[in-house]
Structure 1
Amino acid sequence: MERYDLLYRLYDTFDAAGVREEQDFVDLLPPLDSRVGLSHWQAVADELSNEKARIRRSLPDGDRYAELAARATRDQAFTALDLYTKYGRAVNALVLDVDETLRSAGSTDNEIPREVLHLLTEFHESGVPIVICTGQTLENVKGFAIQGLGNELVHSGDVSIVYEAGTGVFTPGHGSDTKRLLYETLDESVQSVFESVRGRVIRDLPDELRGNVHLQGNEFNVTLKPNFETGSDDAEAVIDGGLVYMLDLLGEAVTDDPAGPTWARAFYAESDPEIESVLSDRDALPEAGVTDEIPDDVRATFDRVTIAYYHADAAELSAVDLNKAAGVEAALDVLGVDDPFVLVMGDSKSDLDVMEWVAANDCGISAAPDHSSPGVLDHVRDTDGLVFDRGDASSMLRTIYALNLLVD
């Protein structure tokens, strides 16, 4: 019997929703001291065992379909089977952004939901390595990873952290490869630009920004953050101003020519519509044709450096050669994933680098929450259409768990 027919039979004949609810209850119920609570938990566990046994007896390859009923909704299971039909492979690593992907300030109080954490543990126990891929600092990521997943899992040798959007990779339990500082591989000329900007960015803050922004504690990237709630009007105002300020610092770091700041504004406005819009709104956009005046050596350095603008959140200076895709490649190398087929989940421009790398190399699939940046959503919809609701990363993890169950 074909797998599609078996799925129809599973979800039409059995109370799969009830089985899944019982599985969630058994998996996610906090530890209990109450005898009554423990007795109820045991009763649910026994009923779950009985329902799974019924499915096993009734369907060919019943173990597989009993687990599918317990882990995935009907829609998730059929999406998983479509992915299996298309790719014929299991996902052998997870590549996961954190902020606004695994956790969302909009609906989960900015904490990773327990359901998501449990699913990550399930993937780990099934032998799927986890790559946490974020723009945050290493210490921040290590803190919430250990708190959420547990010290034993994080230090199991199967978890890697790509931090600061690809400037470094931390993979506990791998000896000399535990920490790879990718920024040390950059040319000295590029490193000197970052040293110059980092040395001045707080010291030379203009009055309108002083006290309103701070420098994120990165090892390499230079990131200005607002001293206001992310997304607020005040945060928007200071980050927009901070973007213009950092463009000018970059121009002065790259060349001694007085036109350096103007060249930097023109160059990055031409390459990024969001930056162009900010400069235009602040009457800071150079006249048309300025980019034609940029000397080749200055342009070559600008080509090696990225200025990223995150609305009402951050203005960030980073190296083109250091991005999340480069970090993920290094992480998979350390983890020993030689023939990767990964799930990438993310919402921002930096995550798009990984998604495009995966698509170009036919080595995985991509998913994104529905509030992601337009470029990310366009890419995901044009590939497999794996868009999930804000704060509902668990739905996509369940789909991929189902995919892996379906693979022989």
Structure 2
Amino acid sequence: MERYEQLYRLYEDHDTDTLRALQDLVDLFPAIDSRVALDRWQEVNEELVDGKTEVRESFPGVGATFADLATRATRDQAFTALDLYGKYGRAVNVFVLDVDETLRSTGSTDNEIPRDTLHLLTEFHEEGVPIVICTGQTLENVKGFAIQGLGSELVHSGNVSIVYETGTGVFTPGHGSDTKQLLYAELDDEIQAVFDDIRSRILSAAPDRLRKGCHLQGNEFNITMKPNFETGSTAAREIIDEALVYELDLLGDAVTALEHVDDVEDETSRDWARAYYAEQDSEIRLVLEQEGAIPAAAADDAPEDVRSVFDRIDVGYYEGDAAEIGSLELSKVVGVEAAFDVLGIDDPFAIVMGDSKSDLRVMRWVAENDAGLAAAPDHASQSVLNHVLAADELVFDQGSASDVLRIVYALNRLARDR
């Protein structure tokens, strides 16, 4: 109770809004090639030092911690952090971060990671907290943005790992033979054959409208159709809905073409695939209904040998953005576990930040293993929001991932002080 009373006094008796503003100026707007700017920056820094000194002297024994809280966290963020510490009694020791629509957002950050978010991540890195970037993007895409945003030195420090293509591979620079792990190469021949079959036909056999309206993302393993139209637009939604139905049909054909599966007509195999995945995912069912593609068959109509293969393959639908086929054996969870192994994280307590169903799997994994917290933007998929709200309510505004990072910063300071 004493700590809550001290926090209340901190935010009641001190001008923490000004201290945070001064800290942001010092952190984000360093003086460059200007004597006037340098003089002003030094004045701001001196004012910040004076303010932090005042806080330190007001809280004997915990002054340094409270000075840090005053300059980094709002009152609500600090109290949230204290609640989290009371609940879990641990500091966050690794970040697991989705990129698109989590760290950055086309809607509010112009698809760039905001500078305050980058700066906070850099500070955590300097304190030795590993960062795992966990994304559905290709490795080359995410490597480029990571180096540009975080800097080559940080990315190649040996304390940063990239789980790419939703877990098909892990890239951890600075770890010798473990630097790049091709997790998809460990799948058995049957699953490899299904993906080889679909990949060989997905564009060549596509109807003209799909060939002109979609492109194949340059993945190493996953098969992802993306719209040629602006993501989220009416045209993009329409073409991705069509692509989803097309991918389901190709998947049905590929599975029933396996040697151990009895021959059936194409229409039958496609009905089985549509029925199976419609039963698995309500969004897929809705798309099939809207496309007039609901099958006459039921999921249970498919033979056991067909359903056993479907059980191992994931079909992902992202409205107006992508239709994807992946392996359930190569989820983000598998990639994160591999990244933790390379980074030497034996007892993780992670902050998992994401917006999609693939991120939800990681969130559930850390919850089931008492291994961390979950946070999501307010525009995340409903299933993600439901999970986050039921856990610790760490929901942040679009493009404001730094709000959660500040809570984690405060949590770690409070945990270190104990």
Give TM-score scaled by structure 2 length.
Answer: 0.96
Q: Which residue of 1 aligns with 2:28?
A: 28
CA deviation string 1:176-223 (max 9, x = no partner): 111111111111101110111011101111122121100000000000
* One-letter identity of the residue aligned with 2:299: T
Q: Which residue of 2 aligns with 1:265?
A: 274
**SS of alignment partner, residue 161 of structure 1:** strand
* One-letter identity of the residue aligned with 1:284: A
2:380 corresponds to 1:372: yes
Q: Which residue of 2 aligns with 1:50?
A: 50
Q: Which residue of 1 aligns with 2:366?
A: 358
2:304 corresponds to 1:293: no
Structure 1 window deviating more from structure 2 (24-33 vs 217-226): it is 24-33
Q: Which residue of 2 aligns with 1:403?
A: 411
Matched pairs, number: 407
Where structure 1 has 5 or more consecutive residues not aligned to the other structure, the ranges are none
**SS of alignment partner, residue 391 of structure 1:** coil
Distance 2:251 2:391 in 1: 36
State the shift of 1:292 in Å: 2.5
**SS of alignment partner, residue 160 of structure 1:** strand
Q: Which residue of 2 aligns with 1:2?
A: 2
Distance 2:401 2:236 in 1: 27
CA deviation string 1:350-375 (max 9, x = no partner): 00010000111010000000000010
Distance 1:107 1:392 in 2: 9
Instruction: Give runs of aligned pairs for residues 304-323 of structure 1, distance below 5 A.
Output: 304-323=312-331
CA deviation string 1:308-356 (max 9, x = no partner): 1000100000001111111111101110111000000000010001000
Q: Which residue of 2 aligns with 1:157?
A: 158
2:236 corresponds to 1:235: yes
Instruction: Give runs of aligned pairs for residues 136-151 of structure 1, distance below 5 A.
Output: 136-151=137-152
Q: Which residue of 2 aligns with 1:132?
A: 133
1:337 to 345, 349, 366: 345
Distance 1:404 1:152 in 2: 24
Instruction: Give runs of aligned pairs for residues 56-71 of structure 1, distance below 5 A.
Output: 56-60=56-60, 61-71=62-72
**SS of alignment partner, residue 316 of structure 2:** strand
State the shift of 1:30 in Å: 4.5
* One-letter identity of the residue aligned with 2:402: S
**SS of alignment partner, residue 323 of structure 2:** strand
2:284 corresponds to 1:275: yes
* One-letter identity of the residue aligned with 1:90: A
Moved over 4 A (4+): none
* One-letter identity of the residue aligned with 1:84: Y
State the shift of 1:290 in Å: 2.6
Distance 1:62 1:30 in 2: 26
Give TM-score scaled by structure 1 length.
Answer: 0.99
State the shift of 1:401 in Å: 0.7
2:31/2:37 contact within 8 Å kept: no
Instruction: Give runs of aligned pairs for residues 236-255 of structure 1, distance below 5 A.
Output: 236-255=237-256
Distance 1:270 1:293 in 2: 12
* One-letter identity of the residue aligned with 1:249: L
**SS of alignment partner, residue 326 of structure 1:** helix
CA deviation string 1:211-236 (max 9, x = no partner): 11000000000000000000001101
CA deviation string 1:239-294 (max 9, x = no partner): 0110011001000100042111111011101111111111111111012x532220
Distance 2:160 2:244 in 1: 34
Q: Which residue of 1 aligns with 2:260?
A: none
**SS of alignment partner, residue 111 of structure 1:** coil
Q: Which residue of 1 aligns with 2:182?
A: 181
Distance 1:406 1:260 in 2: 57
2:316/2:324 contact within 8 Å kept: yes
* One-letter identity of the residue aligned with 1:391: G
* One-letter identity of the residue aligned with 1:228: F
Distance 2:143 2:318 in 1: 23
